[in-house]
Amino acid sequence: MIRPALAGDCINLAALSIQVWLNSYARDGVRNGLSEYVFNTFNQQHFEQLLTKQDYQILVYEQQEHLLGYIAVDLKSQFETQANGYEVDTLYVQNRHQGKGIGKQLLQAASRLHGKNYWLTTWVGNLEGLSFYLHLGFKDIGEYFFELEGDQHENRVLAFKGK
């Protein structure tokens, strides 16, 4: 079931985010900088704050009262032009539940609510994510660099233009 996130979901959103982020980006193991970023970014208070933002929404995918994934959209964020639509800030699905259509369903739910044009960024080393988005019809429209521990990490900006 897909539904809007509630305050009671925030601790599970934090736990799921840590799990997915580390699995996706800590490919060489965990070190202090990564751990600090994860615990400072993905915590209950962070998600509680996001839920109070007027132009931001989180939708969760829940099955038998277990959170399996979520999508967070920032309706004010834009890349280069308004024609690219709003930003899909985060699309996370628990690793063992990837490949079951959950990510696609979350994208479709956001699209029904907020419009068919949206964009997102994904790390160039996330080959599974890049493949997933390109398979769904996203187009590569640019680059974005994420800074962590003084290093620049290249991300691709991908846009979806719905019909």
Give the total number of structural domains in the chain: 1
Residue 65 has pLDDT above 80, yes or no: yes
Task: List, as own/partner pairs, every contact residues 91-94 make where C-beta atoms lie below 8 angstroms and the sequence separation is at least 24, other chains included.
Answer: 91/120, 92/16, 92/17, 92/20, 92/21, 93/20, 93/61, 93/68, 93/69, 94/16, 94/19, 94/20, 94/67, 94/68, 94/69
What per-residue confidence (pLDDT) applies to 84? 87
Least confident segment among 48-57, 78-87, 111-120 = 78-87
- CATH number of the domain residue 81 falls in: 3.40.630.30
- Give the dihedral sign, CA 48/53/54/58: negative
Q: In what order do the strands lie in the sheet with 66-74?
A: 2-4, 56-63, 66-74, 86-93, 117-123, 151-161, 139-148
pLDDT band at 27 (very low <50, low <70, confident <90, very high): confident
For 87-109, how does the pLDDT look when each residue is reduced to its tens digit (9 = 90+)?
Answer: 999 999 999 999 999 999 999 99
Q: What is the mean pLDDT of residues 115-133?
A: 94
Q: Which domain holds residue 64?
A: 2-161
Q: What is the mean pLDDT of residues 32-61?
A: 96
**Mean pLDDT of the chain, nearest integer:** 94
pLDDT band at 153 (very low <50, low <70, confident <90, very high): confident
Cα 35 from Cα 52, distance rounded (Å): 26
CA terminus-to-terminus distance, the chain? 25
Q: What is the mean pLDDT of residues 7-24?
A: 96
- CA-nearest of 119, 116, 14, 122 to 58 is 14
